[in-house]
Structure 1
Amino acid sequence: MKNSSYILNLPEEVISIVCKRIPINEVARHVLPVHSKFYKISRALNELASSRLDYLFENPQKLTNDDVDWMMHTIHSSKNAIIWPIDLKSWVNIAKKQVLTRTQSVNNALSYIENYYTNNVLTVDPNMLYNLSTAELSFYIQGAHSGKYFDIYSALKVFKRLDDELPLKEIPVQVDNIIKRLSCFDKLKFIFKIIINGPLFSVCAKYLFSRDVSRKIIRKTINFLNNELPDFAGQFFEHKLHDEIHAIVNAGMSKSLFKAAINANSQKYLDMLKLTADEINSCLFRDAEYMGWLSPLAHALLNNKLEAASWLFKKGISPEETIEHGYNSLHVLVQTGAVEGLKWLFERFPNLVHEYSNGLPLLIHAINCEEVDIVMLLLEYGADANKPDIIGKFPIHYVMEIEQTNDVRDLIIDLLYMYEADFTKPLFILFETASGYALFERVQSEEIGQELGEVQKSILDLSKFGQMIKLKSFMPFKSAGDALENINDISEGIVGESLKNFLEMNLGNAGKKSKITIGVSDKALASSIKQELEYNCSFDEVVLEIIRGIRYHGEKMLKQFKQGDLARAQLGLGHSYSRAKVKFNVNRSDNMIIQAISLLDQLDKDVNTFSMRIREWYSWHFPELVRLVNDNAKYAVLAKLIGDKSTLSEDKINDITKIVDGDEDLAQHIIDAARSSMGTDISPIDLINIKLFADRVISLNEYRARLFSYLQNKMNIVAPNLATLIGEIVGARLIAHAGSLTNLSKYPASTVQILGAEKALFRALKTRGKTPKYGLIFHSSFIGRAGAKNKGRISRYLANKCSIASRIDCFSENPTTKFGEALKSQVEERMMFYESGLVPRKNTDVMQEVMQSIDEVPMKEEETDEIVPKEEIKEKKSKEEKKKDKEEKKKHKSLKEKKSKKSKA
């Protein structure tokens, strides 16, 4: 039984026979852990255990050791698994005397059973309680109240008999004793499941609406009744609990009783709740059958509460209002197969047959749900069997998507045929190529039910595929530019003028009820054609398969082309389309800057590593050269030139002088040091390897210089203002760290300031320390020249200007360095302000000057309308110069005064 999943698919009769062969002591190990996968097995074992218990209670002398083992295991697993007889003590005594194999373990087990159920909770069989007298019932009720001898669930089951035999005056007391014992909502549910009729309902309901019970419990109880016992929920009103209902309404909990009133199917009860239309529309009910949220109208019609539905219509509730996910009440009724509810609706509102739900006509929705009765009802009340959905897909196409083995498919096809559904609609296929538009027509040689299979089988065979599809018309593009324009329109779902003229020329002007259908491969294009030209469009599986076949046999079916023409046209158009999409500018590609600065940083590391290696290597032979030449590049060139120090002579002094930048004294020192060097001798093979490695280091240094020059030129093209402001290297690092110039331009100045110092920033935030003042911009010359107190200020100001420069570079059409020069002068003025206190110019004034300098264009004398005398020009110039002279004098005076004050201090 541990591996019993293999019998799950057997009939229940076979499973019962298998379970009867299981030893009784194994039953408890498998009957208690009920799992959904082993439901059949668990039920069979339960039946086996129940029959065995009945037999043992009637014949205790037949008890065996296995039975006792099973009972003990059941006690430890669940105390309520065995329904014990009331006279447990006498039964145990008989069992001890009459057991077949009296062992001490069996006697101890039986005594344990007796003590366990006597001292804890005694579960009583409710059927046996009905045979007890009124006095005995009262005794067990008292036991239930004290919680000592009696399980409270079993006590509640007695109420039906108490309702018949005990006086009504005693019932509220007994109910009150039980309800006071309730500690959770589940036990409250149990009361209503047991007491479904009679005066006890009124007693429990009145107690429920008393002050001792919170509104939350009342609301949960009513919701429980609505969901679990919908027919019983109406008894709130039927038992004349008017005072309690008015109290609930006055407390603002009318919605809690709304579903119960609909279940009661009485307009009188609904009027008592005094709900407005807005409150009704805001209500949504959970329905066990639908497994989702329902509007009040959908709930009423689904459960055939037609009086309640009429009351809702009087309140102005419409079945077309959306509930959730674009669905309305009609959608729910179709999906659940509520024939009576829909019939009631269509008799009063015939136009509802033609409504849509979530983009689908009700007929198509019923076909998708495979509801034959609903399909028949809709067709009887006038639904159009040829009405497509919003994308032009007809009901018959949805029918064909149902599996052929399903009987529903044939029934719906027969119904549509009876109501004159058009099974042979002309279908045209629009095929877009790189050379022009092609329009194919489907030949109606097969039944529509076999279309998909036939198309799939005939795709690879041109002879079969050509019998189904034939070319109707082809319109080539005028030029490559015309092809690019059309492909851009199609990719965005736009019907261009060329495509519009092509379709109208070949298919004519379509009316709203046109039977022509165009198959396309794109949903957006289908919607545009449907909206502008009013042709029905389709892009279902059949259409996609046909387009796949046309693409496969395109060159053979389009006889205007030779082999390879379409491929070449696609290649050229593909390049043009991609270039237009990404808007690629060869001269302004910041990706090249990112790669160049990354390579430059890597080269610096590698060149430094290789230079240190050649220094260590060659210093064994000529150690004094390391002290004389510090530059790595010059050291590598000298190592290659000198080679064996013993061969170095005065003849090479000119070459050495060129290498050390014309320093003749240094060149002479190198020759003298070679003569008196203390290094070891070197073999020819070692010297060859050193020279080869020196050649590699020299070539890397030369390549680094070329790469740096390339980076400078690229920065001056892509980000000229940023390069002018902060330098090519630092500007390139900022772009690389941001990912692109566009990303850098989107960063605020505060982010640019600490760009590259993320680790320090997060560490400071984690430890609540001081955040960093600068990141990559620390390498700028401005930060190095600033004083210790002003580094943070300059860093913040410089980041602000870098942000402005990057935005100008990114979004300006005509790049220029004038903004960068102006921003750089502003940073210089700000540094002078921190050092000397000289007030810098305002940013607006600086930017206006730059804009004026860019906009000013020297006018030719021929183009001037008015001739200005030279004297006036001189006067104007002299006035401007005078203003500048005055401002400069004021600045100098203020500087002198401040210097004099500092000197005095």
Structure 2
Amino acid sequence: MVEEAMKAYRGELLQSFARLAEKLKVMNPELVVVEDDVEAKYLGQMGLKAVVEEGNAVAVSLRSRLAQELVRAELAKDASEAPSLEFEVAYEFTRRGLMGAAKKRDLLLAHSIRTVDDIDKTLNLFVNRLREWYSVHFPELNDLVDDHRLFVTIVSQVGTRDEMDLERLKSIGVPEGLAKRIVDAASKSVGADVSEHDAEAVRTFASISLQLYDLRSQLEGYIGRVAKEVAPNVTELVGPLLAARLISLAGSLEELATMPASTIQVLGAEKALFRALRTGGRPPKHGVIFQYPDIFRAPRWQRGKIARALASKLAIAAKVDAFSGRFIGDRLREELQQRIAEIKKVYAAPPKRKEEKARPPARPARPGRPPKRREGRGGQREGGRGEGGRG
């Protein structure tokens, strides 16, 4: 039963329906009502007239007395056993569906890029904390070294300012000029002295941060390999990391393939899009594809056009990756580069700003008319009674 249900879910023709169709051919009815396009097409090939009507009265009636039909087909002993059988079939159907979904490598790709994002967030927190912590001992290093990974490496591999040695710094990848400035700053540092126990705590924290950098690099390599296998055309267009991010935002490669180019263009900018729809403001021109080098390096007036061209090629690439498997990424990339070059040439100069309509001048006040004065509730009107009360 489960296997038959899985075939029906995948849109395959069931053998039981084929046998039923043979009987219908002998009966030769005027019209057959079915719930599936595959069944209607099969009946049409046999010369029978069939129409698709989902949720028709016969199907609804059959589902309402499913327990009785299971007993009649001798799949259940009695009506009390039928619910248990229905649960077992539904459970096994769901289990197999989840197993099939887990085998799709695009889901592994999506989880990998999400992990990279989580590592980036963690590293930002860790590095900022490490810089503040280490600045108690050697504050000058924070200003000298802007690169976060290099800063973490120095603290982890060298340690305290007293251990800052030119050759030691050069051995871990510090440029010679920067290494000399670090050694000079260490000899004149205004930071506080720390004990060996305190220094070891900072170095341990730096070592853990450095391991996170190494893990991120390993995941990037893994994403690069899997992305080329799962979505070679999309990867050829935008690179493995952006390809994985697009698949992650869409939910799967098939979901990305079914999206129009206009949706792919703003994928990742849903909040800005809904805010624009709600407030009547300008909609976003691009979402996560802003990370594409030719978009974020382009002048602002070219970005929307380049994003539109890229989204169109991505829509084609995703469909080919999901449903065909052919490699056309090199041709798509060449066409995209030609279109980008055309955009940069045609729209080299910024567009002229639209002139605002001149507002009509304010109406001048009429001459000779004094401005209106409002009196308080207890005020005295002109020509009214005086202070003495009644006049």
TM range (shorter): 0.5 to 0.7
Decide whether the 8 Å contact of 1:523 with 1:539 is kept in 2: no
**Structure 1: distance between partners of 2:184 and 2:221:** 37
How do residues 615-630 of structure 1 correspond to structure 2 at under 5 angstroms? 615-630=131-146
Question: CA offset at residue 701 of structure 1?
Answer: 0.8
Q: Which residue number in structure 2 is paired with residue 488 of structure 1? A: 3
2:329 aligned with 1:820: yes
Q: Which residue number in structure 2 is paired with residue 658 of structure 1? A: 171
Deviations 1:27-50 (A, max 9, x none): xxxxxxxxxxxxxxxxxxxxxxxx
Larger Rg: 1
Decide whether the 8 Å contact of 1:745 with 1:810 is kept in 2: yes
**Structure 2: distance between partners of 1:723 and 1:633:** 27
Q: Which residue number in structure 1 is paired with residue 386 of structure 2? A: none
> What amino acid maps onto 1:790 in structure 2?
Q
Q: Which residue number in structure 1 is paired with residue 128 of structure 2? A: 612
**Structure 2: distance between partners of 1:626 and 1:683:** 20
Residue from 344, 352, 357 that aligns with 1:835: 344
How do residues 450-849 of structure 1 correspond to structure 2 at under 5 angstroms? 488-489=3-4, 537=73, 542=78, 545=81, 578=96, 583=100, 586=103, 588-649=104-165, 653-660=166-173, 663-813=175-325, 816=327, 819-836=328-345
**Structure 1: distance between partners of 2:143 and 2:118:** 27
Question: CA offset at residue 835 of structure 1?
Answer: 2.8
Structure 1 residues 755 and 547 mapped into 2: Cα distance closer, same or farther (>3 Å)? closer
Decide whether the 8 Å contact of 1:490 with 1:525 is kept in 2: no
Decide whether the 8 Å contact of 1:660 with 1:667 is kept in 2: no
3-state SS of paired residue (1:542)? coil
Structure 1 residues 523 and 621 mapped into 2: Cα distance closer, same or farther (>3 Å)? same
3-state SS of paired residue (1:790)? helix
Deviations 1:656-684 (A, max 9, x none): 113235x2222222222212222111122
**Structure 1: distance between partners of 2:157 and 2:193:** 17
Question: CA offset at residue 785 of structure 1?
Answer: 3.3
Question: CA offset at residue 789 of structure 1?
Answer: 2.3
Deviations 1:726-756 (A, max 9, x none): 1222222221111111111111111111112
**Structure 2: distance between partners of 1:546 and 1:722:** 48
Structure 1 residues 802 and 676 mapped into 2: Cα distance closer, same or farther (>3 Å)? same
> What amino acid maps onto 2:194 in structure 1?
I
Decide whether the 8 Å contact of 2:109 with 2:248 is kept in 1: yes
Computed over aligned residues only, the root mean square deviation of the Cα atoms, in angstroms, reads 3.4
3-state SS of paired residue (1:769)? coil
Deviations 1:431-481 (A, max 9, x none): x9xxxxxxxxxxxxxxxxxxxxxxxxxxxxxxxxxxxxxxxxxxxxxxxxx
> What amino acid maps onto 2:114 in structure 1?
S
Q: What is the TM-score with the length of structure 2 in the denominator?
A: 0.65
Identity of aligned residues (%): 34
**Structure 2: distance between partners of 1:736 and 1:744:** 9
**Structure 2: distance between partners of 1:525 and 1:725:** 57
Question: CA offset at residue 774 of structure 1?
Answer: 0.9
3-state SS of paired residue (2:273)? helix
**Structure 2: distance between partners of 1:720 and 1:632:** 32
> What amino acid maps onto 1:596 in structure 2?
S
> What amino acid maps onto 1:795 in structure 2?
A
Give unpaired runs (5+ residues) of structure 2.
Answer: 8-13, 19-64, 86-91, 348-391
3-state SS of paired residue (1:610)? helix
Decide whether the 8 Å contact of 1:753 with 1:774 is kept in 2: yes
**Structure 1: distance between partners of 2:4 and 2:68:** 9
How do residues 78-89 of structure 1 correspond to structure 2 at under 5 angstroms? none
Question: CA offset at residue 610 of structure 1?
Answer: 0.5
> What amino acid maps onto 1:687 in structure 2?
A
Deviations 1:838-872 (A, max 9, x none): 9xxxxxxxxxxxxxxxxxxxxxxxxxxxxxxxxxx
Structure 1 residues 524 and 803 mapped into 2: Cα distance closer, same or farther (>3 Å)? farther
Structure 1 residues 831 and 525 mapped into 2: Cα distance closer, same or farther (>3 Å)? farther
**Structure 1: distance between partners of 2:73 and 2:163:** 90
**Structure 2: distance between partners of 1:767 and 1:672:** 57
Deviations 1:326-373 (A, max 9, x none): xxxxxxxxxxxxxxxxxxxxxxxxxxxxxxxxxxxxxxxxxxxxxxxx
> What amino acid maps onto 2:289 in structure 1?
I
**Structure 2: distance between partners of 1:548 and 1:642:** 66
Decide whether the 8 Å contact of 1:773 with 1:792 is kept in 2: yes
Question: CA offset at residue 545 of structure 1?
Answer: 4.3
Question: CA offset at residue 548 of structure 1?
Answer: 7.9
**Structure 1: distance between partners of 2:115 and 2:83:** 48
Question: CA offset at residue 584 of structure 1?
Answer: 5.5
> What amino acid maps onto 2:168 in structure 1?
D
3-state SS of paired residue (2:301)? coil
How do residues 375-394 of structure 1 correspond to structure 2 at under 5 angstroms? none
Structure 1 residues 546 and 614 mapped into 2: Cα distance closer, same or farther (>3 Å)? closer
**Structure 1: distance between partners of 2:75 and 2:343:** 71
Give unpaired runs (5+ residues) of structure 1.
Answer: 1-431, 433-486, 498-521, 531-535, 550-573, 839-905
**Structure 2: distance between partners of 1:542 and 1:666:** 84
Question: CA offset at residue 489 of structure 1?
Answer: 4.1
